[in-house]
Amino acid sequence: MSDPNNSVVVLGGGRGLDSVLRALRGADIRLTVIVSIAHEGGQKGDPQQRLTGADVEELRRSLEALSGEGPLLRALRRPLTIEQLGRHRLGNLALASAAAAFGDYSRASIWLGEQLGIDGAVLPATIEPTRQQIEVVDQAAMLKRQRGRRRRVRKLRFVGDMTRSPDAAITAIEEADWVLLAPGALYRSVLPTAAVPDVSAALTRTGARVVWIANLEPDPLEGQNLNAIEHLLVLRMHGVRVDLVLHDESAALKFDSAELTKHGAESVSRALRSRTDPALHAPERLRAALSGLLSLHPVGSVGK
């Protein structure tokens, strides 16, 4: 059984979220995972969007990460080929079909999680798939000039009126003890989830501590050459609260503890890097860091 007095919410996507969920598996907590169902660019011609109506990949991956091995999990991972629409994993099709039946991606994900027997909930950041666009804005006051040049950064915006978040996701954030922002590409994983207006507002008012598990290396696809502290400032620019930064001093993306304190964020340094891939967080190291930080216990150990 999970401990109702230790509630943890994790926001994010991609390999960084996978590492965090693997690190938290088996911990005695109430766990809620929140991911984006937005399509990158909102392209209507995308085969998955035409088939499923939303990008349910992160929902499926998170459900799988929290599931024990079994026939159903193996079936959901199986790719199927659909004429003119390409290959899709059965789990994505199951989520899309359940969403059509329930009329709600949240209920569909909760239902599939129950079938898989997961301990926790995986929820979309928005009730409906939302569209995003990125524009370049002048942030000279936020970022330092380099060689006399004005610094400009990209800002993620949500387009249209389909950005309302599920009540269950907002309640989970408001009632959490800890909120973790998983490592990952800012504009592809973190911001599409954490900067959703309802989610950002809930982060602002929650009594939980908000922990950003920092990236280990700059993301070459982000194309901005942001340094470590600028990653934090971009999160803040998008209204994403960060109370504490969990980082690795040996990482390529190096944080200065004094500078973090200057910007109102507590610094916690731990060994986090994978020994085989320096760009990835090792789940066992992340588990050790989070266990100490969040005072986590394995299932069945409470009170012993």
- For the stretch 223-238, pLDDT in tens is 567 889 999 999 999 9
Global pTM?
A: 0.88
With a cut of 50, list the residues of the chain below it in pLDDT: 1-3, 42-45, 47, 50, 140, 145-149, 300-304
Q: Tell me the Ramachandran region of residue 264: left when phi exceeds 0, alpha when psi lies from -120 to 50, beta otherwise.
A: left
Phi/psi at 280 (5° precision): -110, 150
What pLDDT is stored for residue 109 in this prediction? 95
Task: Locate the DSSP E strands across 249-302.
Answer: 266-269
Other C-beta atoms lying within 10 Å of the C-beta of residue 95: 27
What pLDDT is stored for residue 303 in this prediction? 40
C-alpha torsion sign, points 76, 20, 179, 58: negative
SS3 50: helix
Which amino acid would we find at residue 129?
P
Give bridge partners of residue 10 from the DSSP assignment: 33, 180
What pLDDT is stored for residue 151 in this prediction? 59
Q: What is the pLDDT of residues 265-276, one digit of tens each?
A: 999 999 999 999
d(CA 198, CA 171): 11
The helix, strand and coil proportions of the chain, stated in percent and rounded to the nearest 5, come to: 40, 20, 40
What pLDDT is stored for residue 135 in this prediction? 78
Tokens describing residue 116: 């898989």
- Start-end of CATH 3.40.50.10680 domains in the chain: 7-36+125-294
CATH topology for the 7-36+125-294 domain: Rossmann fold (3.40.50)
What pLDDT is stored for residue 107 in this prediction? 94
What pLDDT is stored for residue 138 in this prediction? 60
